[in-house]
Structure 1
Amino acid sequence: MNDETIKYLEETIDASSDLFLLQGDVLVQRANTTDLVGTTAVFDGPSGIYVYPDLMMRMRFRELATAHWFWRYASGADGRRYFMGIAAGSSGSMPKITGDNLRRMPLPVPPLAEQRAVAKALADVDALLAGLDGLLAKKRDLKQAAMQQLLTGQTRLPGFRRKWAVKTLEEIAECLDDLRVPLNEAQRSRMRGDYPYCGANGVLDYIDRYIIDDDIILMAEDGGYFDEYKTRPIAYRLKGKCWVNNHAHILKAKLGFDQVFVYYSLVHKNILPFLANGTRAKLNKSEMKKIEIETPGEESEQAAIANILSDMDAEIFALEARREKTRLLKQAMMQELLTGKTRLVPTGEPDA
């Protein structure tokens, strides 16, 4: 966009002291932490709601298309940079935007036809993201239901008849905690490399050597998501070369038991009764061995269940990757379209 399209925000809004919201009004967070100040949204209704002026600023644009244009621009890189600059320079303990510095915000304003075209393009991407979010939620719910049914024997796979038995973790898995070696941050900084350095909840760093080369299950000893076990994992699986610190137990399924089945039996298990009391919840090795798992009598049934759940995880992972690519595409589109680097409507086309 050329300099002629750059206006100050006050040139595009109606001056009004009315604090009751109407559909299409734009709200700007005027006071909060630095990363939240300037958060912007278009109000969709219902009309007549009162906005508290100490927390939010209300703007009413002359054109609805411009309201949506500003919302997109303010949420993009240039808009956030402007608001964070104001927040960093404001006095007091809480960063705050004033009406004056908001009205002085430089805003590239293309013709209305282009504003509408950009709004439609970005809305289409938003709709795609929303569809992916809905599909992901559905897939996760299906997997949760499948785990509940398959890992308890409530639903049996065709061809399997042998009874299930309750086994302790000591009976079905070897504990390899003797292989654990903790490293502090200074030590790791001298060992930068490609091998995962693992802790209670996942990979913490990458170093230039390893102590394990195997398919292992890592289960948090302390610092795990024990209270959130239904929605967050308390165990994870790693294959290949890695280094493990002393905040995760290392488990390997014994002969006759499927490694992946054991993993799925643990990843969202309620182990709160086995935790030691104290200021920091901890799963001691002796208590971990007492954890009970319902187990099919045939390893082939364990493997069949594990394959079904692995396939569901692969679907979810593919959807998550697709959603992330779409999110990055939207981010790139905003940078191009909201700065005029890419134009959707030929220059000089009249507003409609």
Structure 2
Amino acid sequence: VPVGYKRTEVGLIPEDWDIMALRNIIEKFVNGGTPSTKNAAFWSGNIPWITGADILNQTVAVIRRHITEEAVHNSSTSVIAKGNLLIVSRTGVGKLAIAPCDIAISQDFTGVIPNKEKILAKYLFRHFDFCQHVLAKQNQGTSIKGITRDTLAAILIPLPPLSEQRAIAEALSDMDGLLAALEALIAKKQAIKQATMQQLLTGKTRLPGFREAWETRRLGDTFTCLPTANNPRADLREYGQIGYIHYGDVHAHAQPVLSCAHYELPWIDKSRVDNAAHLQNGDLVMVDASEDLVGVGKSIEIHGIAGKTIVAGLHTILCRGNPDYWAMRFKAYLQFIPAFKSALIRMATGISVYAISKKQLSDIELALPSLLEQEAIVSVLSDMDAEIAALERRRDKTRAVKQGMMQQLLTGRVRLVEPRTITERLAATRPAEQEAQWKVVETKEAGR
């Protein structure tokens, strides 16, 4: 056991921390409930009322219904005061939030009113957010899983001094603020890109130097549909002779271009895909089936093959463009051309799954810009894609740094002796530098 630490039921913690059951550090648990839906008058008030479905990313994401004082008095629901902890204890165990206002709760929740002399709600929230496995382990039941009140009350909580609880909660809240700012910036950039595509891919806005009319062509005259494989996931392996692009990979890939040099493909034995065409750089792989109309025509343009042998798989259409009509990477944006998307949606058939065929795809007529204009459009949109991808990497790195902070702070491995100084320093640094910054802090604290 390191100097300054002690071994407990929840692992190593600092000597000046305590371990207490949840029941001993709160004032009370509060039940939730649902007022009668048969009484419309109950649902015409101004008291917010939520269910577990309204919690997203550990916050009250939406308030869809409001109830009256009479509804509260005539049902088992309760109003939880702003700032207290809401734990989903059935139908979605693991979700939690701090009440953003005085709010009524359904039976999905257990409201937790902390003893403020022992624990802060915002620290308890951080502890349970970090220790999701503790809540998941206690999940019981058959038809409706949940955590009983006695089980919840018995959970052991590591308890720093109140000043340190506050510092931990504030440091992690600052990281949440940084993540929220990055998410907002990504959403803004994506909206700008979407608007730019609407203008450039329809010809409503022309880039400087381009005035000639676009020529309408039948798509089947501009590319060739090549044979694909039809193997299910069960045939795929971590290793093999041939890379395999499954339709699920196309649906899941966020960017319109897939670089095989940086993407972990599943593999398949050569003998199982003898009749499938081998992909070339610039090929377009499009799904031929989707569970919703939004996914109809979802596609990726393939690059970075670099000597690999790769095939397109189950529920995909492989299109190889004629270079006289298609500039490299422009095919990736075909799926975003409104006229093309509308044509696919009109043609898609099915009830639970919407499908398109090679013939339907080939018969679509579309106005296409010249090769030079395609290249100019690709340059603009690719720059936007690269900027968004860089922001997403920054967000993911920041999220990982936050996870590391939770691991260090909520176990006491790093002590926030000067929490505000550390928090400000973190907020001011780039995410790539934050992890190193925390290592410096940890080293200093370990030496004290």
TM-score bracket, normalised by the shorter chain, equals 0.7 to 0.9
Deviation (angstroms), 1:225? 6.0
Query: Which residue of 2 is the match for residue 227 of structure 1?
Result: 293
- In the alignment, the residues of structure 2 paired with residue 194 and residue 59 of structure 1 have an alpha-carbon distance, to the nearest angstrom, of 56
Is 1:256 matched up with 2:309?
A: no
Is 1:57 matched up with 2:110?
A: yes
What letter corresponds to residue 84 of structure 1 in structure 2?
A
Query: Which residue of 1 is the match for residue 128 of structure 2?
Result: 74
Deviation (angstroms), 1:343? 1.4
Q: How many residues align?
A: 329
Partner residue of 1:272 out of 342, 345, 349: 345
**Contact residue 253 and residue 259 of structure 1 kept, 8 A:** no
- In the alignment, the residues of structure 2 paired with residue 282 and residue 132 of structure 1 have an alpha-carbon distance, to the nearest angstrom, of 36
- In the alignment, the residues of structure 1 paired with residue 221 and residue 83 of structure 2 have an alpha-carbon distance, to the nearest angstrom, of 63
Deviations 1:141-173 (A, max 9, x none): 111111110011100111112111222211222
Partner residue of 1:199 out of 241, 246, 249: 246
Deviation (angstroms), 1:2? 3.8
Aligned-residue RMSD, C-alpha? 2.5
**Structure 2, unpaired ranges of 5+:** 1-12, 32-77, 251-264, 271-276, 419-448
- In the alignment, the residues of structure 2 paired with residue 194 and residue 329 of structure 1 have an alpha-carbon distance, to the nearest angstrom, of 37
What letter corresponds to residue 247 of structure 1 in structure 2?
H
Deviation (angstroms), 1:199? 2.3
Is 1:337 matched up with 2:409?
A: yes
**Contact residue 235 and residue 267 of structure 1 kept, 8 A:** no
Partner residue of 1:318 out of 390, 400, 403: 390
Query: Which residue of 2 is the match for residue 350 of structure 1?
Result: none
Describe the SS at the equivalent of 1:31: coil
1:111-150 paired onto structure 2 within 5 Å: 111-150=161-200
Q: CA 1:143/1:235 → structure 2, altered by over 3 Å: closer, same or farther?
A: same
Q: CA 1:117/1:220 → structure 2, altered by over 3 Å: closer, same or farther?
A: same
- In the alignment, the residues of structure 1 paired with residue 84 and residue 241 of structure 2 have an alpha-carbon distance, to the nearest angstrom, of 51
Deviations 1:175-223 (A, max 9, x none): 22x2x2233445433x72486411224267234769334321111112x
Query: Which residue of 2 is the match for residue 6 of structure 1?
Result: 19
Partner residue of 1:161 out of 178, 193, 211: 211
Is 1:302 matched up with 2:356?
A: no
- In the alignment, the residues of structure 1 paired with residue 104 and residue 182 of structure 2 have an alpha-carbon distance, to the nearest angstrom, of 34
Describe the SS at the equivalent of 1:15: strand
What letter corresponds to residue 63 of structure 1 in structure 2?
K
Is 1:25 matched up with 2:95?
A: no
- In the alignment, the residues of structure 1 paired with residue 189 and residue 382 of structure 2 have an alpha-carbon distance, to the nearest angstrom, of 13
Structure showing greater relative contact order (alpha-carbon pairs closer than 8 Å, 6 or more residues apart): 1
**Contact residue 236 and residue 267 of structure 1 kept, 8 A:** no
Q: CA 1:282/1:51 → structure 2, altered by over 3 Å: closer, same or farther?
A: closer
- In the alignment, the residues of structure 1 paired with residue 384 and residue 412 of structure 2 have an alpha-carbon distance, to the nearest angstrom, of 42
**Contact residue 30 and residue 112 of structure 2 kept, 8 A:** no
Is 1:97 matched up with 2:147?
A: yes
TM-score (norm 2): 0.68
Q: CA 1:116/1:17 → structure 2, altered by over 3 Å: closer, same or farther?
A: closer
**Structure 1, unpaired ranges of 5+:** 347-352
- In the alignment, the residues of structure 2 paired with residue 308 and residue 293 of structure 1 have an alpha-carbon distance, to the nearest angstrom, of 21
Partner residue of 2:311 out of 218, 243, 267: 243
Deviation (angstroms), 1:103? 1.4
Partner residue of 2:354 out of 281, 287, 293: 281
What letter corresponds to residue 115 of structure 2 in structure 1?
R
Deviations 1:118-147 (A, max 9, x none): 111111110111011101111111111111
Describe the SS at the equivalent of 2:320: strand
- In the alignment, the residues of structure 2 paired with residue 255 and residue 262 of structure 1 have an alpha-carbon distance, to the nearest angstrom, of 11
**Contact residue 38 and residue 97 of structure 1 kept, 8 A:** no
Q: CA 1:152/1:21 → structure 2, altered by over 3 Å: closer, same or farther?
A: same
- In the alignment, the residues of structure 2 paired with residue 234 and residue 69 of structure 1 have an alpha-carbon distance, to the nearest angstrom, of 43
Is 1:181 matched up with 2:229?
A: yes
Deviations 1:26-85 (A, max 9, x none): 1111111xxx3142211120x2x3333x32111111339611111011011xx2122111
